[in-house]
């Protein structure tokens, strides 16, 4: 059908902007993953009483990138038979938090365990011990942004990977049936986890950030506006910032994804813009599905959630 809506989708499906990856991208991540592989989680898990008869909830703390205690909810369906469960590891959107255990009831009704974590320093219970040697723009994104090893993106990426490690070690969880899932910032983390971790069997990046970040920093209204504000204040650091971001850009890392992924995108989204998402998605070489929503902005709708759960059920449920 030849109309504006379908032409827009066809154009996005053809997007193939040049990569911004530095030559040592894969070597850098191989060494980084090796460096953090044996870092202890130092985790604790505490049972919490809730009013929900069919939910078992635990408060969890673990360490990821550094010694910052990352807080999470680990919730299980009380009605499951005693086989091991699939598990969804959930990352929230920018400025959010892990929320409350009942926020994940729909997964429990599927018979799926959930591990939902705070992203450090944002609106949850988790602080941030990341060292800071230079000033920042408002928000969190520009902390340490002048180098790939000091930046906030590195800290939250390693935190996200370590959350998958923790979930895979739980006695109730079938380590072969883990899904990395999130929306916006959380979608970006789910996608980078799919590229860098061997723990998830599938990934669901809803409206993912951290895609084609050089385009996003110029055009989007996302958290990358903070990086733009930083460069406006310190224009001499443009190249350093773009270099740092390139190591955390899902467009550059898409070739490392080897698992099935399910992506959603809103074509009216000014935050995680469809151009950026398709730029990353089009480079994924594994089994993949993308569902565009022509009239949706920066949101994860009920239909997006339903389709994602159908994907999870098809891939992870026995």
Domain ranges of the chain: 24-316
Alpha-carbon distance of 224 to 240, in angstroms, equals 15
Helix (H, G, I), strand (E, B) or coil at 222: coil
Residue 14: per-residue pLDDT: 98
**Mean pLDDT of the 124-147 span:** 96
User: What does the pLDDT look like over 138-165, one tens digit per residue?
Assistant: 999 999 999 999 999 999 999 999 999 9
Q: Is 91 annotated as a binding residue?
A: no
pLDDT tens profile 171-192: 999 999 999 999 999 999 999 9
Q: Is 318's pLDDT higher than 90?
A: no
Determine the Cα–Cα distance for residues 155 and 66; give it in Å rounded to an integer.
8
Alpha-carbon torsion, ordered 186, 191, 193, 197, to 10 deg: 160
CATH 3.40.30.10 at 24-316, yes or no: no
So which residues are the catalytic ones?
Answer: 184, 269, 298
Q: How many whole angstroms separate alpha carbon 104 and alpha carbon 85?
A: 15
Q: Please say whether the beta carbons of 119 and 92 come within 8 A.
A: yes
pLDDT at 81 over 80: no
Taking the CA atoms of 278, 159, 304 and 111 in sequence, report the sign of the dihedral they define: positive
pLDDT at 272 > cutoff 90: yes
Residue range 80-96: mean pLDDT, rounded: 92
Return the minimum-mean-pLDDT range out of 71-85, 105-119, 238-252: 71-85
Query: Which tens digits make up the pLDDT trace of 276-308?
Result: 999 999 999 999 999 999 999 999 999 999 999
Q: How far does Cα 252 stand from its chain's mean position? A: 15
pLDDT the model gives residue 188: 98
Residue 246's SS3 state is helix
Instruction: Compute the mean pLDDT over every residue in the chain, rounded to the nearest whole number.
Output: 97
Which residue blocks in the chain are alpha helix, DSSP H?
4-13, 25-37, 105-109, 152-168, 185-196, 213-219, 224-233, 238-246, 250-253, 274-281, 302-316
Strand partners, 7: none
Handedness of CA 291, 294, 298, 304 (dihedral sign): negative
What average pLDDT score do residues 42-61 get?
97
Overall average pLDDT of the 6-18 stretch: 97
Please state, in angstroms and rounded to a whole number, the distance separating the CA atoms of residues 214 and 43.
Answer: 36
- DSSP string for 142-154: TTTTTSTTTSHHH
Among 166, 190, 167, which residue's Cα sits nearest to residue 177? 167
Q: How far is CA 33 from the centre of its chain?
A: 17
What's the pLDDT at 22? 98
Q: What is the mean pLDDT of residues 48-62?
A: 97
Q: How confident is the model at residue 2 (pLDDT cuts 50, 70, 90)?
A: low
**Quick one: pLDDT band at residue 82, thresholds 50, 70, 90?**
confident
pTM: 0.98
What pLDDT does 1 receive? 52
Read off the pLDDT of each residue in 222-248 and give the average, rounded to a whole number. Answer: 98
The contacts of residue 216 (CB under 8 Å, 6+ apart) are 209, 222, 224, 272, 273, 276
């Amino acid at each position: 059908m030849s109309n504006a809506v379908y032409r827009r989708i066809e154009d996005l499906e053809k997007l193939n902007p040049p990569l911004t990856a530095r030559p040592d991208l894969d070597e850098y991540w191989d060494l980084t993953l090796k460096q953090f592989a044996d870092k202890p989680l130092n985790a604790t898990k505490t049972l919490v009483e809730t009013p929900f008869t069919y939910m078992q909830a635990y408060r969890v703390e673990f360490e990821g990138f550094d010694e910052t205690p990352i807080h999470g909810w680990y919730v299980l369906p009380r009605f499951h038979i005693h086989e091991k469960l699939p598990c969804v590891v959930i990352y929230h959107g920018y400025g959010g938090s892990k929320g409350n255990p009942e926020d994940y009831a729909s997964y429990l009704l599927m018979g799926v365990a959930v591990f939902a974590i705070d992203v450090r320093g944002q609106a949850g219970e988790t602080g941030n011990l990341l060292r800071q040697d230079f000033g920042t723009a408002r928000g969190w994104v520009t902390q340490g942004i002048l180098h790939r090893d000091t930046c906030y993106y590195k800290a939250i990426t390693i935190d996200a990977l370590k959350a998958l490690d923790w979930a895979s070690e739980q006695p109730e969880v079938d380590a072969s049936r883990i899904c990395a899932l999130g929306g916006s910032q959380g979608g970006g983390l789910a996608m980078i986890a799919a590229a860098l971790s061997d723990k998830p069997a599938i990934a669901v990046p809803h409206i993912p950030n951290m895609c084609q970040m050089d385009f996003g920093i110029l055009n989007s209204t996302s958290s990358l506006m903070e990086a733009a504000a930083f460069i406006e204040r310190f224009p001499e650091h443009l190249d350093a910032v773009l270099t740092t971001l390139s190591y955390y850009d899902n467009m550059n890392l898409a070739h490392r994804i080897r698992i099935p992924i399910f992506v959603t995108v809103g074509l009216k989204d000014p935050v995680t813009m469809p151009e950026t998402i398709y730029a990353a998605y089009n480079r994924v070489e594994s089994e993949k599905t993308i569902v565009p929503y022509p009239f949706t902005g920066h949101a994860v709708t009920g239909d997006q959630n339903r389709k994602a759960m159908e994907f999870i059920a098809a891939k992870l449920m026995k």
